[in-house]
Amino acid sequence: MKLPFLIASLVLAAGFTASAHAAEAQAGAKPDPAKLDALTPICQACHTSDGTRGLSANPILQGQHPEYILKQLTEFKAGKRVNAIMQGMVAALSPEDMQLLAGFYGGKKPVQGTAQNKDTVLLGEKIFRGGILERSVPACAGCHSPNGAGIPAQYPRVSGQHAEYTTAQLLAFRSGERGNSAQMETIAGRMSDKEIKAVADYMAGLR
């Protein structure tokens, strides 16, 4: 990894550590089968019963870090992350409910996906592993790990995620529509549509 990208990645990680540890401390709720049976139908219309593949417009939750799921649910509820559907869904959830759901989906084995566009896979790999030097875009692997597994309580798993969903989120960060990650707003703001789609597709096929 180039030195500037390594430094950028370390800076981003340091900035996230405090809030990440707070989420980690909250995400360890013990399973309550009866409570989960009542909660999961709320989620399964969009995320399927176990959080697997579902529609590509919705994220795959299976195998995502529980701490990251909890952070997103908490920020939807607080209005820090804006999405009318999700804000409606979490409105009635207690902190304990959100912990249970995060543990349920995050405790499952991650799913595997595949890259679909052979014409952009090399560009996607270049960005993921080396960033974009001339625009100070750090390598995605620096925060999300070389295999896309992420870093628990800090950065989400991106491997196997729907490319369409990842693309939509990067575009939302770039436009400011999604504003709950300053570092991702900055990074996506320096990327073109082609670069975003290429790296999103590449990440979908990471193992």
Check: CB of residue 111 under 8 Å from CB of residue 206: no
For 112-127, what is the mean pLDDT? 96
Other CB atoms within 10 A of residue 101 CB:
26
| Class of the domain covering 112-204 | mainly alpha
Strand partners, 137: 132
Q: In this predicted model, what pLDDT tens digit does every residue of 122-159 receive, in sequence order?
A: 999 999 999 999 999 999 999 999 999 999 888 999 99
Question: In whole angstroms, what is the distance from residue 3 CA to residue 196 CA?
Answer: 23
Per domain, the residue ranges of the chain are 16-106, 112-204
Q: pTM score, two decimals?
A: 0.84
| Residue 10 in this model has a pLDDT that exceeds 90 | no
Q: In this predicted model, what pLDDT tens digit does every residue of 24-57 receive, in sequence order?
A: 445 555 667 888 888 988 898 899 887 887 899 9
Report residue 79: phi and psi, to 5°: 85, 5
For 155-169, what is the mean pLDDT? 97
| Residue 5 in this model has a pLDDT that exceeds 80 | no
Q: Is the dihedral of CA 139, 184, 148, 145 positive or negative?
A: positive
The share of the chain scoring above pLDDT 90, in percent, equals: 72
Same fold, 16-106 and 112-204: yes
Token look-up 């399964």 returns 44
More confident site: 77 or 18: 77
pLDDT given at position 25: 42
| Class of the domain covering 16-106 | mainly alpha
If we measure between CA atoms, which residue out of 30, 53, 13, 180 comes closest to residue 102? 30
Classify burial at 41, counting beta carbons within 10 Å of its beta carbon; exposed 0-12, middle 13-18, buried 19 or more.
exposed
Other CB atoms within 10 A of residue 147 CB:
12
